[in-house]
């Protein structure tokens, strides 16, 4: 059986990768991934064979990884953050059915919600919902429903894929929905380029977030009704008595 690792490399910086992920990459002959992620890890794993495919070629990328593993090589398929959070792990299991001679080993990573929470303070101390605003694979109506119901249930909401070239106003639309159930003063935050060059975090109110343009390398947090701004940090109380 050849081994095919599915590795979450964390938000970006080498230091934010788990030791287990680094070991898996060290053990691999071939590292497969989206060009941007391969560029993030390349310098730390010299001598490896690197194979890349562009964005939106996910199925092709998975097939490529299995084909390499079938040749008897140890292969790592890399994803940013955790490979099981809007990543490739599911697709790898689905495609893997056709490759019984290849054993999948999944290695968890630090997802953007967690990496960025550490930059902002402590936004996720209590129950939270993670919602992607990308309607490429999910109908927008379903995204709207998830936003509204989690706003109503007073979850802290963490938004992935908050914007792209074609979806510039999606964050604004999401904020409009949340504003039906939450005060405009609700404490929110966003972090751009978590763990990468140009990392930039900001804590702001929901009404200011509504008027903010973010890009696709940004993750957004909308606090619950208890979330506070403590000296510029976004903090959701756990409920301990002070
Ligand atoms: N598997 C990844 C998520 C991929 S979806 C993970 O677990 O983190 C892509 C979205 O994730 C981006 O649009 C952005 O919202 C978020 N994201 C991933 N890496 C990020 C980073 N380094 N900084 C900020 N946001 C990031």
pLDDT at 151: 98
* pLDDT above 80 (res 55): no
In tens, the pLDDT along 164-215 reads: 888 889 999 999 999 999 999 999 999 999 999 999 999 999 999 999 999 9
* Chain position carrying tokens 């939450």: 182
pLDDT of 166: 85
Q: Mind giving me the DSSP string for the chain?
A: -EEEEEEE-BSSSGGGS-HHHHHHHHH-SEEEEEHHHHHHHGGGSTT-EEEEE-TT-HHHHHHHHHHHHHTT--EEEEESB-TTSSSSHHHHHHHHTT-TTEEEEEE----HHHHHHHHHEETTSS-EEEEE---SSS-HHHHHHHHHHHHHTT-EEEEES---TT-TTHHHHHHHHHHTTS-TT-EEEEEESTTSTT-EEEEEEHHHHHT----TTEEEEE--TT-EEETTEEE-------
Burial class (CB in 10 A: 0-12, 13-18, 19+), 25: buried
Does 70 have pLDDT greater than 80? yes
State residue 167's pLDDT score.
Answer: 85
Ligand 1 probe mutation, 16, 80, 218, most atoms within 8 A of CB: 80
Q: What residues contact residue 4 under an 8 Å CB cut-off, 6+ apart?
A: 65, 66, 69, 74, 75, 76, 77, 92, 96, 102, 103, 104, 105
pLDDT tens figures, 122-137: 999 999 999 999 999 9
Shortest-distance Cα residue to atom 15 of ligand 1 = 160
Mean residue pLDDT of the chain comes to 95
The confidence score (pLDDT) of residue 29 equals 97
Would the CB of 88 count as within 6 Å of ligand 1?
Answer: no
Which atom of ligand 1 is found nearest the CA of 113?
8
* Ligand 1 touching residue 53 (CB < 6 A): no
Cβ of 96 below 6 Å from ligand 1: no
Q: What is the pLDDT of residue 179?
A: 98
By alpha-carbon position, which residue is closest to atom 18 of ligand 1? 112
pLDDT of residue 57: 82
pLDDT at 235: 98
Tell the residue nearest (CA) to atom 3 of ligand 1: 86
Q: How close is the Cα of 232 to the center of ligand 1, in Å? A: 23
pLDDT band at 19 (very low <50, low <70, confident <90, very high): very high
| pLDDT tens per residue across span 22-54 | 999 999 999 999 988 899 999 999 999 999 987
**Distance in angstroms (rounded) separating the CA atoms of residues 165 and 81:** 22
Q: Is the predicted pLDDT of residue 56 greater than 80, yes or no? A: no
Does residue 239 have a pLDDT over 90?
no
Distance 112 CA to ligand 1 centre (A): 5
């Amino acid at each position: 059986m050849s081994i095919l690792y599915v590795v979450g490399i964390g938000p970006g910086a080498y230091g934010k990768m788990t030791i287990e992920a680094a070991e898996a990459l060290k053990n691999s002959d071939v590292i497969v991934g989206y060009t941007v992620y391969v560029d993030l890890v390349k310098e730390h794993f010299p001598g490896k064979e690197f194979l890349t495919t562009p964005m939106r070629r996910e199925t092709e990328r998975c097939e490529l990884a299995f084909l390499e593993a079938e040749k008897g090589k140890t292969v790592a398929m890399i994803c940013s953050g955790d490979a099981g959070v809007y990543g490739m792990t599911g697709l790898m299991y689905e495609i893997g059915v056709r490759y019984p001679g290849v054993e999948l080993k999944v290695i968890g990573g630090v997802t953007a919600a967690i990496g960025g929470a550490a930059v902002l303070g402590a936004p996720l101390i209590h129950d939270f919902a993670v919602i992607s605003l990308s309607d490429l694979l999910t109908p927008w109506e379903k995204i709207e429903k998830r936003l509204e119901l989690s706003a109503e249930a007073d979850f802290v909401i963490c938004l992935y894929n908050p914007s792209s070239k074609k979806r510039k106003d999606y964050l604004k639309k999401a904020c409009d929905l949340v504003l039906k159930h939450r005060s405009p003063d609700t404490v929110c935050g966003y972090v751009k380029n978590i763990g990468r060059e140009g990392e930039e975090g900001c804590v702001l109110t929901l009404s200011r977030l509504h008027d903010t343009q973010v890009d696709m390398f940004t993750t957004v947090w909308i606090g619950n009704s208890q979330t506070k701004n403590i000296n510029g940090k976004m903090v959701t109380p756990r409920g301990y008595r002070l």
